[in-house]
Structure 1
Amino acid sequence: MASVLVVLVLAAASLVKKAKASPTGPPGPDGRQCVQLEVPVTVNTKAIHWLQKKVDSTVDAVDWVDDMTTWTSPNTTSRILGQITVNETFKISGQLCVPAKGSRSDILQLATHGVGFDKRYWDVEIKSSQYSYVDAALAEGYSIFTYDRIGTGSSSKPDAYDVVSTGVQVEVLRQLTTLARSGKLVSSSKKVGGASNLSNYKPAKIVQVGHSLGSVIIIGLLSDDGASSDGAILTGFLYNSQIGSASVGPWGFEFAKENDPKKFGDRRSGYIVQATKSNTQLVFLKKGTFEPALLDYAWQIRQPGSVGEFISLATVLGHPAPAFKGPVQFFIGEKDYGFCGGDCNNTYDVTALKKLYPASSALSVHLQPGTGHGLTLSTNATEGYKVIFDFLHESKL
């Protein structure tokens, strides 16, 4: 009976979300105007070619985890075999939402999700008034663009070893940022649904918002091209003394296509996904700060990651962003298991953080009380959003 109720709740939430999308053009009943897009993004860049094991089965996936975590295994640097050229045009599935009335609608929040999800991470469909970051941003008057990173959701799913890597994801974000700032994000894309009156939307400012790997990707963009962005909210990530404890082990990875052939039948070699709902809880949630229905939801919308993303994650970290002048906020769950080993208290140095962003107009660190890694899925999500918005307002954004 419980499983039937969960299915009914998810189905009802899906119907509510369809109504929110306002497919005929006028604002929906909550004032949101959204357009769903297929954005062609061409990337021409150098990517690292890595030495790593192939993953074509769940047996391989477990062996890959073993190889990545055994203390005598080669370190990241020694696994670099050289460089390859990535010159591809990817289809990026995105959604642009603009508030019907909003004093900050000319400020675009460009949101990049992390591993384990797609853009739905930002727009939770259960109790959306409490959990949806998209709804919260629109209610605060901001416009927001969410998208599926390559390898996830409805976006392109290229080679999982060298192409779906952190560096290439940085280039995708750079191109999306350029398109948005030029006002050509909608006009250069294929409209697949939603409002018809947003073709000329051009933001005056862009704030990058990330979660986990999405925050790491933003860090890479800011260090390469600090002038591209007017502000950055880095959730689910924090430079700290326990960051080295992060491991792929707790994910319990399986080969995605084998884990769920129906859901992940389009994933090729090298795509891996958390094996069980318990793995999802361990990585993303903390007992006492999540509702069971939200764990069910997180499991239902889970997405595979690529082995290339994990091995390349560290390559963009630790580089300063001297040209970035906007405000930056590190926002992480107090009990984040992945990046702080379960407790972020007394693990970070604000002075060291400021050295990475020497020209930043403001820098802050916020530990969200009691929560784990999945901030939009935790019961105090709304309070967390207020912290983010207050920081932006204080920074004149």
Structure 2
Amino acid sequence: MLLNRLILIFAAAVQALPQPASASCRDVQIPITVSTTRFILSTSLKDDWDAAALSLNLTRRDFSKSSDPLPISGSTAAAVKSTYTVGATLCGNGGPTLILTHGIIESKLYWRPNFPGSEKYNFVDAAIAQGYSVLYYDRIGVGSSPKVNSFTDAQFQVEVAVLEGLVNYAKTKAHASKIALVGHSYGSYISSAAASHVAVDSLVLTGYSGTFDYFPPFIAGAGFRVAKLQNPARWGQLDSGYITSSDLYAETYVYYAAPYFERSVAEWTYNVASEPFAVGELPSLLATTVDYSAIKAPVLVLQGQFDVSACGGNCVGVVNGTKDIFTGAKVLEYVDNLPAG
């Protein structure tokens, strides 16, 4: 029911009935070339002691102030050009198209889980059933996308440029007539930043409140660990700058809210769908200013009430602050009390 509600609200936001789309999905490898400056990180991450130290720096009470201890010493003097072959899945034959960007400690499986009985959690199939085409992908460093350098490549502004490249791909190669960017958590910030640079028809943000005031509980609660040390069999090939949660229960704390979830779903997420994220991603996000006023498309903020990273565990009265952020949007709608994490 929640997925259907999102689809219906989106349909109203783009003010157009979706065109018929095929239910067929195929995996694609999409080369995307980006050129952007990179932050220079002033930290190292070799073991879990370093992960604990980074967690402290990102949870200090002054972490969002002008004197904050972000581990960034500057940025490159010129833009750095790179090409990444992004692993994605494309469903449908064009027309109104949703481009989905997942969040931290996630993969594209977030949008289309594959465990028995997962149909009611399957956003991709729900969107296809309403006639939309869908392009969903693994962020660089994750899943079927390349395992990039965790310090220099996997940075927020680079991932924004990758998404902008995917928007161009959808328009020029996938026959998209309208495009909505749909993000979750970190993916919502990527989607917002991309929408401030390129024209899209709608922006749907989940796991998002527009403020970092409540971010420390997420970082502290996740109990960051170096992924290659945490699970060598699964992630031993990654460099030591890739981070994951400490265990199933830490990940449950940051993503779910009792009693509004099934434990088997949390277990599948932790054991199958979850992926590490790169050390460069969070500091580069916190050091970037997104020009939300430049976003002209209709915006929908759809929020679970008990989201830890977005709202500190209670989004009622927090998400309504987004109306002061998206001042240029054609329309803004938000929902802040859905019974979920």
TM-score class, shorter: 0.7 to 0.9
Query: Does 1:168 pair with 2:158?
Result: yes
Question: Secondary structure of 1:248's match?
Answer: helix
Match of residue 366 from structure 1:
335
Matched residue, 1:159 = 149
1:43 aligns with 2:43: no
- CA displacement at 1:40 relative to structure 2: 1.0
**Code of the aligned partner of 2:28:** L
> Structure 1 residues 242 and 356, CA, compared in 2 at 3 Å: closer, same or farther?
closer
The farther-off stretch of 242-251 and 109-118 is 242-251
Separation of aligned partners in 2, 1:241 and 1:261: 32
Superposition deviation, residue 340 in structure 1: 0.6
SS of residue in 2 equivalent to 1:262: helix
Q: Distance in 1 between matches of 2:167 and 2:318?
A: 32
Q: What is the rounded CA distance, in whole Å, between the counterparts of 1:346 and 1:82 in structure 2?
A: 36
**How far did residue 49 of structure 1 move?**
1.5
Aligned to 1:82: 75
Tell me the CA shift for residue 240 of structure 1.
Answer: 4.9
- Kindly indicate whether the alpha-carbon contact (under 8 Å) linking 1:257 and 1:268 is maintained by their aligned counterparts in 2: yes
CA-CA distance at 1:38 after TM superposition: 1.1
Matched, 1:118 2:118: no
Between stretches 340-349 and 170-179, larger displacement belongs to: 340-349
Q: State the shift of 1:78 in Å.
A: 7.9
Cα contact 2:58–2:216 (8 A) shared by 1: no
1:135 paired with 2:96, answer no
Give the direction of change, closer, same or farther, for the CA distance of 1:78–1:98 in structure 2 (3 Å limit): closer
In 2, the alpha carbon distance for the partners of 1:78 and 1:265 equals: 25
* Residue-pair matches, total: 314
Partner of 1:202: 175
| Match in the other structure for 1:180 | 170
The Cα of 1:83 is off from its aligned counterpart by 2.2
Check whether the contact 1:219–1:317 (CA below 8 A) recurs between aligned residues. Answer: no
The alignment status of 1:214 with 2:194, answered yes or no, reads: no
1:370 maps to a residue whose letter is P
- Counterpart-to-counterpart distance in 2, 1:164 and 1:88: 11
8 Å CA contact retained: 1:94, 1:148: yes
Work out the CA distance in 1 between the residues paired with 2:132 and 2:29. 22
**Partner of residue 17, structure 1:** none
**Whole-Å Cα distance in 2 between the matches of residues 218 and 109 of structure 1?**
11
Cα distance between partner residues in 2 of 1:120 and 1:244: 24
CA distance in 2, matches of 1:125, 1:78: 38
State the Cα distance separating 1:325 from its structure 2 match. 2.7
Q: Which moved more, 1:60-69 or 1:144-153?
A: 60-69
Equivalence map 1:209-288=2 (5 Å): 209-225=182-198, 227=199, 229-240=200-211, 242-243=213-214, 245-288=216-259
Alignment match, 1:299? 270
**C-alpha separation between the residues in 2 aligned to 1:72 and 1:173?**
31
Write the distance in 1 (CA, Å) between the matches of 2:288 and 2:196: 8
- Kindly indicate whether the alpha-carbon contact (under 8 Å) linking 1:49 and 1:81 is maintained by their aligned counterparts in 2: yes
In the alignment, the residues of structure 2 paired with residue 219 and residue 315 of structure 1 have an alpha-carbon distance, to the nearest angstrom, of: 15
Q: Secondary structure, in 3 states, of the residue corresponding to 2:260? A: coil
Match of 1:144 in 2: 134
When the two structures are superposed, what TM-score results if normalisation uses the length of structure 1? 0.74
| Matched position secondary structure for 2:75 | strand
Which protein is bigger by CA-based radius of gyration?
A: 1
Q: For 1:60 and 1:317, how far apart are their aligned partners in 2?
A: 27
Q: CA deviation at 1:35?
A: 1.1
Instruction: Quote the Cα distance in structure 1 between the aligned partners of 2:323 and 2:28.
Output: 37
Say yes or no: does 1:312 pair with 2:284.
yes
Shift of 1:148: 0.3
Q: Quick one: which amino acid aligns to residue 261 of structure 1? A: P
What do the CA deviations read for 1:14-63 (whole angstroms, capped 9, x no partner)? Answer: xxxxxxxxxxxxxxxxx720110111111111122122x21122222222
Instruction: Work out the CA distance in 1 between the residues paired with 2:188 and 2:262.
Output: 25
Counterpart of 2:48 in structure 1 is: 58
Partner of residue 4, structure 2: none
5+ unaligned residues in a row in structure 1: which ranges? 1-30, 100-104, 185-200, 373-397
Paired residues of 1:216 and 1:317 also in contact (CA < 8 A): no
Give the Cα separation in 2 of the matches to 1:240 and 1:56. 30
Q: Aligned partners of 2:180, 2:302: CA distance in 1, in Å?
A: 15
1:356 aligned onto 2:325 = yes
Deviations 1:121-162 (CA, angstroms, capped at 9, x unpaired): 000113232001011101111110010000110111211123
Indicate how the Cα distance of structure 1 residues 261 and 88 shifts in structure 2: closer, same or farther if over 3 A, else same. Answer: same
| Gap regions ≥5 residues in structure 2 | 1-21
Contact 1:336/1:344, CA 8 A, preserved across alignment: yes
For the residues of structure 2 that align with 1:67 and 1:50, how far apart are their CA atoms?
13
**2:95 counterpart of 1:106:** yes
Q: State which of 269, 277, 290 in structure 1 corresponds to 2:261.
A: 290
Q: For 1:285 and 1:366, how far apart are their aligned partners in 2?
A: 18
TM-score between the two structures when normalised by the length of structure 2: 0.86
Whichever residue aligns with residue 175 of structure 2, its letter is K
CA distance in 2, matches of 1:144, 1:302: 21
